[in-house]
């Protein structure tokens, strides 16, 4: 499904093309057998290739699969080199990796958007059965998970001598997650952000005991936690978000699925071989003890500005100290202004994306996305270009 829309690969014969017409196919191997091959033509390259039926049956973009194999090969080379895995090594792999447009993570998708670039490796919860299963991403591209695990252990080995327990790794690119609480997560999460960007700190409510709705949490009690090029430990079940940023931002989150105890032995052993540090009751208790218990926001008495400033809850480890603010109760209760969303851009120089754009013309985001004709790689490249003010000048909403 090169265009991101459905291709009905029923049986072994016939063929089709996704939205955008990137792949045309014809059956071979007979009867749609899972071990056969499909002969397909990449129309944009005028090239015929053979693709495993298993890939077509799960509607995977062939070009995306090829990019991911390249990222996996880069990771394998770095692992075989035997040198410590650095931030630059991981960033190089993430830049090659092809992200999926994920419309399922409704709790993190920013307002006005319908999907985000987000992939999860390791243990995931089956959306059909609810049971813990291995992600197809870690099954098909195991060296990515091995690289990420080796990198995290090198950077955090002194803080977590036995290794930080995790079953899964979430990879994100190019979006500021809205305020949310993680679901199906035991809580302790180790995360960091990489890339060439400014802003993008983690907005975190360290005293969130989940008695209040997200909209009722006091904005001035939110803490900004710097995650760029450094790991931070948070409780994913407490409310958090990503603050606005400019530039290229990737994030990597290590966590454990709450139903990991129901995992089959074969799946567990396979993920451990790929780098997972399987959580135990003792290891989870140890990392949980590093997080201060939440005090909640409903029981805190209204105090004078000076008392409120002196009794602010502690920020997550690694965040900059908060500045006290003098003022009345009305100031404390005021909500932080939200930046206006950017929906229009003026083209200042050619982005070289073959989108047939004209310099000094103004384009809306939906128009630019439509010009990509559903091609995930092109949309990814477009989003990166939109973050470059020398190429696209943001004009704000119409």
Over the chain (398 residues), the average pLDDT of each successive run of 10 is: 32 34 41 58 68 57 88 97 96 96 93 94 88 94 98 95 95 96 94 97 96 94 96 97 96 96 96 97 95 85 48 48 45 46 80 85 86 76 84 79
With 0-12 / 13-18 / 19 or more C-beta atoms within 10 angstroms meaning exposed / middle / buried, residue 278 is middle
pLDDT score, position 342: 60
- Please check whether residue 203 is in contact with residue 288, taking contact to mean a CB–CB distance below 8 angstroms: no
pLDDT score, position 304: 45
Query: Is pTM beyond 0.75 here?
Result: no
pLDDT score, position 150: 97
Q: Taking the CB of residue 171, how many other CB atoms lie within 10 A of it?
A: 20
pLDDT score, position 390: 86
List % helix, strand, coil for the chain (3-state, nearest 5). 25, 20, 50
pLDDT score, position 332: 45
pLDDT score, position 307: 47
Phi first, then psi: what are they for 296, rounded to 5°? 80, 165
Which strand (E) or helix (H) includes residue 55? helix 53-57
- Please check whether residue 274 is in contact with residue 214, taking contact to mean a CB–CB distance below 8 angstroms: no
Q: How far apart are CA 2 and CA 25, in angstroms?
A: 11
pLDDT score, position 365: 84
- Please check whether residue 342 is in contact with residue 395, taking contact to mean a CB–CB distance below 8 angstroms: yes
Strand segments, DSSP code E, in 8-110 are: 23-26, 37-42, 47-52, 101-102
Q: How far apart are CA 269 and CA 274, in angstroms?
A: 9
Q: Report the Cα 268 to chain-centroid distance in Å.
A: 23
Closest C-alpha among 108, 189, 118, 198 to residue 152? 189
Closest C-alpha among 213, 207, 234 to residue 319? 234
pLDDT score, position 318: 45
In eight-state DSSP terms, residue 185 is B
Closest C-alpha among 250, 244, 165 to residue 202? 244
Report the SS3 class of residue 233: strand
Terminal Cα distance for the chain, rounded: 34
Residues sharing a CB contact under 8 Å with residue 162, sequence separation 6 or more, in sequence order: 277, 283, 286
DSSP state letters, 343-383: -EEEE-S---SSS---TT-EEEHHHHHHHTTT-HHHHHHHH
Phi first, then psi: what are they for 50, rounded to 5°? -110, 130
Phi first, then psi: what are they for 281, rounded to 5°? -60, -40
Report the SS3 class of residue 90: helix
pLDDT score, position 49: 74
pLDDT score, position 281: 94
Closest C-alpha among 214, 207, 208, 245 to residue 227? 245
């Amino acid at each position: 499904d090169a265009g991101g829309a459905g291709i009905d690969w029923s049986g072994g014969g016939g063929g089709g093309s996704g939205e955008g017409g990137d792949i045309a196919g014809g059956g071979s191997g007979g009867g749609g057998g899972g071990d056969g091959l499909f002969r397909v033509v990449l129309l944009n390259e005028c090239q015929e290739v053979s693709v495993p039926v298993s890939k077509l049956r799960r509607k995977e973009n062939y070009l995306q699969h090829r990019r991911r194999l390249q990222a996996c090969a880069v990771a394998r080379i770095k692992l075989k080199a035997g040198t410590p895995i650095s931030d630059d090594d991981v960033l190089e792999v993430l830049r090659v990796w092809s992200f999926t447009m994920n419309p399922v993570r409704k709790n993190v998708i920013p307002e006005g958007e319908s999907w985000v670039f987000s992939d999860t490796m390791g243990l995931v919860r089956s959306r059909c059965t609810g049971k813990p299963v291995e992600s197809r991403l870690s099954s098909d591209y195991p060296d990515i998970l091995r690289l990420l695990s080796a990198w995290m252990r090198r950077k955090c080995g002194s803080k977590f001598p036995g290794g930080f327990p995790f079953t899964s790794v979430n990879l994100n690119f190019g979006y500021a997650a809205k305020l949310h609480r993680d679901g199906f997560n035991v809580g302790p999460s180790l995360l960091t952000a990489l890339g060439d960007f400014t802003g993008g700190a983690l907005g975190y409510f360290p005293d969130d005991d989940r008695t209040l709705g997200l909209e009722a949490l006091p904005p001035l009690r939110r803490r900004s936690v710097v995650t760029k090029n450094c790991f931070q430990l948070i409780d994913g079940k407490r409310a958090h978000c990503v603050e606005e940023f400019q530039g290229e931002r990737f994030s990597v989150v290590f966590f454990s699925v709450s139903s990991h105890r129901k995992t089959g032995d074969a799946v567990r052993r396979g993920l451990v071989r790929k780098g997972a540090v399987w959580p135990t009751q003792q290891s989870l208790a140890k990392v949980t003890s590093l997080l201060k218990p939440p005090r909640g926001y409903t029981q805190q008495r209204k105090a004078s500005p000076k008392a409120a400033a002196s009794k602010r809850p502690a920020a997550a480890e690694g965040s900059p100290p908060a500045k006290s603010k003098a003022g009345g109760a009305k100031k404390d209760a005021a909500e932080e202004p939200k930046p206006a969303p950017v929906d229009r851009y003026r083209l200042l120089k050619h982005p070289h994306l073959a989108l047939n754009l004209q310099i000094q013309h103004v384009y809306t985001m939906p128009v630019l996305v439509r010009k990509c004709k559903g091609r995930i790689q092109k949309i990814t490249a477009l989003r990166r270009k939109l973050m470059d003010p020398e190429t696209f000048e943001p004009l704000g909403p119409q």
